[in-house]
Amino acid sequence: MKLNEEEQDILAGHQGPVPQTALRHQIKVGEFFGAADFVPVTQAHIMADTESLGEAGVQWLEGLAAEKTGRRRVRIPTITDPRGTDFAKAAFLRHTKAMLTLEERAITAFVKLGVLMTNTCINYQTVQPATRNEHVAYGDTGVVIYSNSVCGARSNFEGGPSALSAGITGRTPRYGFHLPQKRLATLHVHVDDTPETLNEWGALGGVIGRIAGNYWAVPVIEGIGERGGAPGSDALKHFGAAMASFGSIALYHLVGLTPEASRLADVAPDVKALPSHRVTRADFESLQLSYHTTDEVDVVVFSAPQLSLHELRDVAALCEGRQFKKPLIAITSPQVKPDCDRMGFTQTIEAAGGQVLSGMCFYQSYAREMADAHGWKRLATNSAKLVNILGGYGYQPMLGSMEACVEAAATGRLA
C-alpha cells in the first residue's frame, strides 16, 4: 500500500505503539484486498461484545489501554455497538459474575482509549447518521448496510479490531465500498409485493440476501414502494439487517428511493447484462414459514436490531392490559430507553410481565448460556436477523409479526 508521510510516521512508531499496532493491522487487511492506499474516515463504530471478545480479546484491549507512551486515544468520534449485558437486568438474564467482570474490564479499556460507550446498533436512528459520500468505519453489519444504502455513506464491514484501528488512526484501507465502481449493482431484483410488517421486511431482506449470496454482491431492487409510498426507517432497518445477516450483503439500492439510485441506470448502466431475479410474496412468506417448526414458545424476544421509540410504542400498545405466561424481552439503545421510560412504554410492557432492556442485543449477550440457564429453546421474534443467527446457539427460533409474538407471550403459542 502507498503510505503518505503521516502514515509512514505512524508505522515507524513515532506516534507510539498503539497507532503503530493499529496501522500494522490495517495494512495487513488492506494488502490482502489489494488496497492502493488509505482513505480518511470521520466516524468509527466498534462491535465488541464480550462474548465475541472472550478473555483474549479483552486482554488485547487492555494491552492497548495500558500503553504509557505515545498517543493511545482515538482521534475521531468512535462509538460502540451493544454490550454483552444490561447491568441493571443482569440478574433477570442470569448473567454470571464472570460475564459481568469481563464486561466491566472491556468497558474500562474502551474508556481509556477514548471510545464513546453508546452501546447501540441503531446509531443511524439515535446518535448521528452518516451522510452521502461520508467515508466511515462502521462495525455491525446492520449499521453498515443501512448507512451505505439508505444514507449513501461509504463503509466496509469493519470488525471490532479494524474499527478500533480506524478510530485510532483516523483512516481505513481504501477497498470495497469506499470505491465508486464497487457500488454499482451486480444483480437486478424485481419485487412483486411490498411487505407490510417488520417481520415481512426482514423476511424479504433474507430472501434477497440468500439470492445475492456474498459480500461483493450489490442488489438493485425495483418494485418497492410502487404502491403505498416509501418504506420508513424501521422497515429498512429490518430489511437491511436481514439481508446482511443472510447474505453478508453491505449495500443495496432501491430504485427511486435510495440516494445513489434515482434511476435504475445510475447504478446499473447495462441492466440487461446483470443476473435478474423475481421475488414474490410467496418467497418471503415461505422463508418465514420455514422457521415455524412448532407452535409452543418458551420466550419472546424483540431485538436485533435494537428497537426504535416507534417500535417500542407499538409493542407497548399491544401489551396494554395483558398478563404474560412467557417471558417477553424488548431491547433498545441507551439513547431510546429514557424516552421509553418517560413516555410510559416501559411501565406498560413491564406491567404485563415483559422486560425492557437497553444497551445490549439478545444474540450478543451470551445467548447460549441464557438458553441453558432459563430452559429457553423455542423463541418467537419478529426479527428475521435473529432467527437466522439463533439456530447456531441451540434455539428453535420462529418468525412472526409483532402482534403474533406478543400474543405468544400471553398464550404460550405462536399462531
Which amino acid makes up residue 409?
A
Interaction of residue 391 with another protein, rule CB under 8 A: yes
x/- track of binding to another protein for residues 159-178 (CB under 8 A): xxxx-------------x--
Stretch that binds another protein, among 125-133, 219-227, 339-347, 392-400 (CB under 8 A): 392-400
Encode burial over 306-315: b for 16+ CB neighbours within 10 A, e otherwise.
Answer: bbbbebbbbb
Closest to 267 measured CA to CA, from 225, 230, 220: 220
Sheet arrangement for strand 253-254? 253-254, 219-222, 187-191, 276-279
x/- track of binding to another protein for residues 230-259 (CB under 8 A): --------------xx-xx-----------
> Do 365 and 390 form a contact (C-beta atoms < 8 A)?
no
CA-to-CA separations, 350 to 35, 347, 408, in angstroms, rounded: 50, 5, 16
Interaction of residue 124 with another protein, rule CB under 8 A: no
Closer residue to another protein (CB): 183 or 322 = 183
Interaction of residue 25 with another protein, rule CB under 8 A: yes
Stretch that binds another protein, among 194-202, 223-231, 254-262, 385-393 (CB under 8 A): 385-393
> Do 301 and 386 form a contact (C-beta atoms < 8 A)?
yes
Alpha-carbon gap, residue 304 to 234, rounded angstroms:
12
x/- track of binding to another protein for residues 32-71 (CB under 8 A): xxx------------xxx-xxxxxxx--x-----------
At closest approach, how far in Å is the CB of 156 from another protein?
A: 5
Closer residue to another protein (CB): 218 or 389 = 389
The DSSP output letter for 319 is H
User: 66 forms bridges with which residues in the sheet?
Assistant: none
At closest approach, how far in Å is the CB of 139 from another protein?
A: 5
Stretch that binds another protein, among 1-9, 27-35, 70-78, 402-410 (CB under 8 A): 27-35
Q: Give the count of beta carbons closer than 10 Å to the beta carbon of residue 89.
A: 18
The secondary structure of 137-195 as a DSSP string is EE-SHHHHHHHHHTS--B-----HHHHHHHHHHSEEE--GGGSGGGGS-SEEEEESS--
Stretch that binds another protein, among 1-9, 145-153, 210-218, 294-302 (CB under 8 A): 210-218
CA-to-CA separations, 122 to 131, 293, 399, in angstroms, rounded: 15, 30, 21
Stretch that binds another protein, among 70-78, 154-162, 275-283, 350-358 (CB under 8 A): 154-162
Q: Give the count of beta carbons closer than 10 Å to the beta carbon of residue 85.
A: 25
At closest approach, how far in Å is the CB of 225 from another protein?
A: 28
> Do 21 and 64 form a contact (C-beta atoms < 8 A)?
yes
3-state secondary structure of 301: strand
Stretch that binds another protein, among 257-265, 316-324, 386-394, 407-415 (CB under 8 A): 386-394
Stretch that binds another protein, among 22-30, 271-279, 323-331, 399-407 (CB under 8 A): 22-30
x/- track of binding to another protein for residues 364-383 (CB under 8 A): x-------------------
Q: How many residues bind another protein (CB under 8 A)?
A: 45
Interaction of residue 87 with another protein, rule CB under 8 A: no
Helix (H) or strand (E) holding 24: helix 17-32
Interaction of residue 206 with another protein, rule CB under 8 A: no
At closest approach, how far in Å is the CB of 207 from another protein?
A: 15
Closest to 352 measured CA to CA, from 296, 310, 300: 300
Closer residue to another protein (CB): 180 or 394 = 394
Q: Which residues contribute to the site for another protein (CB under 8 A)?
A: 25, 28-29, 31-34, 47-49, 51-57, 60, 139-141, 156-162, 176, 213-216, 244-245, 247-248, 363-364, 388-389, 391-394
